[in-house]
Amino acid sequence: MFSLEPVPTLKKIQHVSLFEVCDSLLAAQTACVEMVTSSSRRKVIQIHVVGVDRWDVVKEVPLLQDPVALAVDGASVCVATSDRYLLCDIRTGSSEELFPHNHSRQRVIVTSVGRGEFLLNGPESLGMFVMKTGICQRPPLQWPQEVLAAGVCFPYILTLEPQVLSVYSMVDQQIKQTVSLSGATGLLSTSDGVLVFTERDIFSLRLVPLDQQIQALVRHERIEEALLLLNGVQGHCPCDSYKELQKAITCLAGFVHFYREGFSEAKELFITGELDPREIIHLYPDMQSCLSEDFKSQLDQVNKGRDLQVLCQENRNTFHQYLAFLGDFLRAVRGTEQGLKCTQEVDCALLRLYLELGDTENLQQLVASPNECRLDHCVPVLEQHNRFFALGSLYQSHGHQLDAIETWVKIADGFHKDTSCSDVYGHIVWTLSQLQDRDAVLTFADWTLQRNQEIGVRIFNKRPPDGEFEAQNVLALLEKYPLALILHLEFLIHDLNSKEERHHNRLALAYVTQTLQEEEKADLRRTRGKLQQLLWESKCYDVSTVYERVKSAALHMEKAILLGRTGEHCKALQVLVHKEGDLQAAEAYCCRAAQGRDSQFRQTLLLTLLQIYLSSEALTSAAVDLLNNNPRVFVAEKIIQLLPDSWSIQLVSQFLVRSLRESFHQRQMARLQKALGQVECMRHKAIWMQASNKKFRLDKGQKCKVCQRDLAEPQFAFNFHGELMHTSCTGYSSS
């Protein structure tokens, strides 16, 4: 047996027309071989278990016709008879017909593909793939009618004709190779290829390793075919090996698209293949300085790299497209696991790229957000390109706040030329307002306030509540900047709702000072309006302190408000009438001072104003207008007693008519209200009478609903439910 000599003691298996050795787990465990045979005398297939010194038939499967070919895969046997193909299960002995055929005995082909699949020579010169379940999961192969034999060497099917050997792909069913032969008679599949028999020779064809096949396809730029083959052999490769091969081939495919300027496809393939971003950066001649010294490229792209360098010199437009692709790719992988392996190189390359393309928006976004740019590399590059605003942002993102602000200050002062930011000063102010470094803020506070007090004070007014600055310290700093001082006091009072008297006093006094210094009328009206609003609305300032400041100035309206706050309304009105000479302001004062008070208080104020008017003959018309404008406030009987004897009835006729009409109207309204009240009262009385106009029977022994004692007195009460009770118990009833 092992020496190729027959075993004398082993009985021969006779009348065998076909046989196949099976891969059986049971046979392997018992040191036996399982074999399927067909008999030349019986329509049956038999399963033999063959040992070293004996063999036994363990199963027979009867057939209706003699088998002419068979193939075994596990427990499944595919059998071809003279006109049909069958599937048999050697465990159960069952059989199933697949489909008929009309081939001669020499043209019948049954071959095991593996994994429960068989290849059959079907009708119409089709190579049919059939699973052990009886279904087809692959498209058929279209092969010549003269096929003598077929073998499987995954992922290829080899067919033999008298003069040629053809190789088909199981992945896409396309013919891939032909080998000329003469007098071919048969072939046999082996573990790594096939043996081909001719009339005189035996040839051995071996399968080229799959990774070499795929790489060769990529080198010939047959990308889709390479990826199709790679996906087709996935199930037959170890998981780790397949993944690594897939990544490498996907990246190689990406480079083919890259040099064809198929940038969208290249980016997707590079990302899918998890290409190290440094491999792409390495291709660009001006970007290689971004890479660390220990980086060694793993790809053979030297010649291609030279092409890109030449392209940079000869065709700038196309090279700019390659630069744009680099930006798209690096942005796509930045922050992902693929890009986190080399964050410094990615960020440095993006910075240089944005400078090269003049992409100010993306450059500023990169340097202003958290990044891994190396300062020793990027600072000189930014200075060389006069991008000092971006340089300041880079300093800031790396925590060098003073360097950042100093750089921006030099731009604002004209030491650096950089037009990329139109409002550097505003950006400095905003940065200082968000900065928690107290010393840094104070370092540049004077510079910002000297340049523009209104904007510069925002470094304090727009600051989040962080407790870094005490209000008094800020006010002390702003003493030299009056406008900024006012704006900050307004912020404390109006935005932070400060109730401290010193803040309100300082703001009022600052308004007074500014009012006295202003010359333009527009500014004067605006400031005085703020001052008057503060004096009217604030309850936190010291009246005497502010009055002491305005009493010697020509701020008569403000004096009047302050006098009114102390209750001296008569003096306030005299100031407005005699010193300010603004009669409308005097009347408006009465209305404003009476807000939130009763009508009697307003009447008192207007009456005081009338008396002031009446004390001067020059104000007669003002007094008449005051009377005519307020007929509802003044009572005609009282006013007539105050008027000078020299006044004619005609002078006050309009007031008297309006006043009498108003008095009459008020009396009528009072009578109407009284009548309505009486009607309502009568309605309630009627309801009460209807409720009380009802007879009740009080029987002896009837008890009170509340206390349950007898009702023995003539007086009693009842509720709405008709329940009787003592009058003294009504307070305890819930109805």
Q: For position 444, what pLDDT does the model report?
A: 94
Average pLDDT over residues 148-174: 88
Does residue 375 register a pLDDT over 90?
yes
Distant-in-sequence, close-in-space partners of 179: CB < 8 Å, separation ≥ 6: 164, 165, 167, 205
Regarding predicted confidence, which is higher, 6 or 467?
6
Average pLDDT over residues 645-651: 75
Q: For position 50, what pLDDT does the model report?
A: 87
Q: For position 721, what pLDDT does the model report?
A: 72
Distant-in-sequence, close-in-space partners of 596: CB < 8 Å, separation ≥ 6: none
Does residue 345 register a pLDDT over 90?
yes
Does residue 303 register a pLDDT over 50?
no
Average pLDDT over residues 618-632: 80
Regarding predicted confidence, which is higher, 256 or 3?
256
Model confidence, pTM: 0.66
Q: Is 685 exposed, middle or buried (0-12, 13-18, 19+ CB in 10 A)?
A: exposed
Q: For position 618, what pLDDT does the model report?
A: 83
Regarding predicted confidence, which is higher, 197 or 219?
197
Regarding predicted confidence, which is higher, 694 or 276?
276
Residue 498: band (very low, low, confident or very high) from pLDDT cuts 50, 70, 90: very high
Distant-in-sequence, close-in-space partners of 413: CB < 8 Å, separation ≥ 6: none
Q: For position 271, what pLDDT does the model report?
A: 94
Q: For position 656, what pLDDT does the model report?
A: 73
Residue 486: band (very low, low, confident or very high) from pLDDT cuts 50, 70, 90: very high
Average pLDDT over residues 179-196: 86
Query: By percentage, how much of the chain surpasses pLDDT 70?
Result: 94
At 408-457, the pLDDT tens digits run 999 999 999 988 888 999 999 999 999 988 888 999 999 999 999 999 99
Query: By percentage, how much of the chain surpasses pLDDT 90?
Result: 33
Per the CB < 8 A criterion, the answer to whether 118 and 112 are in contact is yes
Q: For position 520, what pLDDT does the model report?
A: 55
Regarding predicted confidence, which is higher, 720 or 598?
598
Residue 302: band (very low, low, confident or very high) from pLDDT cuts 50, 70, 90: very low
Inter-residue long-range contacts of 137-142, CB under 8 Å, 24+ positions, other chains counted:
138/170, 138/173, 139/173, 140/173, 141/168, 141/173, 142/173
At 560-596, the pLDDT tens digits run 999 999 999 999 999 888 888 888 888 899 989 888 8
| Lookup: tokens for 668 | 């009528």
Does residue 376 register a pLDDT over 50?
yes
- The most confident of the ranges 238-242, 549-553, 714-718 is 549-553
At 650-707, the pLDDT tens digits run 777 777 777 777 777 778 888 899 989 988 988 887 777 776 666 767 778 888 888 8
Distance CA 369, CA 222 (A): 42
Does residue 239 register a pLDDT over 70?
no
Q: What is the mean pLDDT of the chain?
A: 86
